[in-house]
Amino acid sequence: MPKSALLVIDVQNDFTEGGSLAVKGGNRTAGAITQFIRERRGDYAIVVASRDWHSPVGDNGGHFAAKPDFVSTWPVHCVEGTPGAAYNPALEANLIDVQVFKGSGSPAYSAFEANTPGGSSLTEVLERARVQHIDLVGIATDHCVRATALDALAAGYSVTVLLDKCVGVATGTTIAAVNEMRVAGAKVALGS
């Protein structure tokens, strides 16, 4: 039977209510992901969580802007070592096997652009665990979840996006992202 991984995308304080780039429903999603992992941990060879981890110096390759367009430029968020870059408290970090960090000094949306503190890429982590299938949950459906799903499919993994364990920034862009992921070959399902 193919081995599966659960990828938890960017469930961080700055992306949940009260954060600098808050997504409505982020706190609820963090709690739902924790409950899901508790109930379904045995289904996965590995649970990996990604985090935005931006440099405190400069604009991170144009990613931060004083007047962001919310398309390719954003307010300052998830600066490494700050409370905003920490996991949302409703996500129990002890349930995560491996953490990967992305975006230090440059824009990064996909968890496939991330590395462990020891320098291993997400692909290397998944290969070591002999993963063939990925379930995706997290924030935001229309940005980092989307980018991760598309990169996972391009890398040859089968992908399921668990929509009830994700939250998007806006309805229109979330619908477009879900359709794009489906067309690219992702299965879209509910995780419960």
Residues marked as catalytic: 10, 102, 144
- Name the token pair of 190: 């509910």
Task: Round to the nearest angstrom and report the end-to-end CA distance of the chain.
Answer: 21
Q: Which run of H or of E encompasses 31?
A: helix 26-40
Strands 187-189 and 98-102: what pairing?
unpaired
Residue 101 in contact with residue 51, Cβ under 8 Å?
A: yes
Rounded distance between C-alpha atoms, residue 158 and residue 173, angstroms: 23
